Amino acid sequence: MPLPASSAPRRRIHTRRIEVEGFLREDGLYELDASLTDVKDVDYPIASGMRPAGVPVHLMRVRISFDVAFNIVAAVACSDEVPYPGNCDTIGPSYARLVGLNLVRGFRRTVNEMFGETLGCSHMTEMLQS
């Protein structure tokens, strides 16, 4: 069942997209490439200046490589666009600590313990929960 029509006229001002693609590598490992993009439909003031409409406020990516038992063997993360340079765009290397975790045994809980609050980037952590 679709959502009902809005009860008042409105215009979109923000879009968040989380995309996850799965791959089978030729060496038998699997990879998940995920991205999170936030785009405003209006010019948006941020710490580094005015972000024009249509230019991402957030553009973050993570790649997880894992084996047939869902054990993570490699992890890489990067932040191409952030509203506060010098913070979330520097945390990417910390996500290599995901190596050794299992995607189906306590992964979400462990990610929250490792990167929750100010220990990581909330957007990157949200993307990993997907």
| pLDDT tens by residue, 28-51 | 999 999 999 999 999 989 877 899
| pLDDT tens by residue, 98-112 | 999 999 999 999 998
pLDDT in the model for residue 21: 97
Between the alpha carbon of residue 81 and those of residues 2, 8, 25, 88, the distances in Å are 33, 33, 28, 9
Confidence bin at 71 (pLDDT 50/70/90): very high
Q: Name the pTM for this structure.
A: 0.87
HSE on the CB side for 39, CA within 13 Å?
11
For residue 117, pLDDT over 80 is answered with no
For residue 87, pLDDT over 80 is answered with no
